[in-house]
Amino acid sequence: MIKRVAHIPAMLIFSLMFGGVAVLLFSVMQWEYTERKLATDKTLPLVEARVTDFGIVTGNELPSNLMAAPYCVSPEMIAGRAQTPECDQYSLGCVMYWMLTGEPPFAERTSREVMDAHLRKIYTPLLKIDPLFGVEIDRIVTRLLQRKASDRYKSMQDVVQAMEQLAGKQKKLIKKKTAPIANVQTTSTAERLARSGQRNNANTMLYGLIGVTIVLVLVTVYYFIQSVQPDRGPEILEKVERLRYDENYKEIRSYLNAQKDYGKKPEIQAKIKAISDEATNKLKFAEMKQKAAESFGKDWKEYESLRQTDVGKAKEYARIKRRNNEINKNDEIFGVYYKLWVEECKQLGID
What per-residue confidence (pLDDT) applies to 275? 93
What per-residue confidence (pLDDT) applies to 283? 92
21-44 pLDDT, tens per residue?
555 454 444 444 444 444 454 444
List the chain domain ranges: 2-228, 233-347
Give the pLDDT mean for 175-198: 55
What 8-state DSSP symbol labels residue 58? Answer: E
What percentage of residues in the chain have a pLDDT greater than 90? 17
Give the pLDDT mean for 195-217: 75
Higher pLDDT, 256 or 173: 256
Give the pLDDT mean for 77-105: 86
What per-residue confidence (pLDDT) applies to 229? 66
Going from the C-alpha of 117 to that of each of 109, 147, 152, the distances in angstroms are 11, 11, 18
Going from the C-alpha of 314 to that of each of 97, 307, 308, 310, 344, the distances in angstroms are 75, 5, 9, 6, 11
Higher pLDDT, 277 or 222: 277
Contact status, residue 21 vs residue 163, Cβ threshold 8 Å: no
What per-residue confidence (pLDDT) applies to 58? 47
Of 177-191, 242-256, 262-276, the one with minimum mean pLDDT is 177-191
Give the pLDDT mean for 290-313: 90
Buried b (16+ CB within 10 A) or exposed e, 234-257: eebbebbeebbeeeebebbbebbe
Topology of the domain covering 2-228: Transferase(Phosphotransferase); domain 1 (1.10.510)
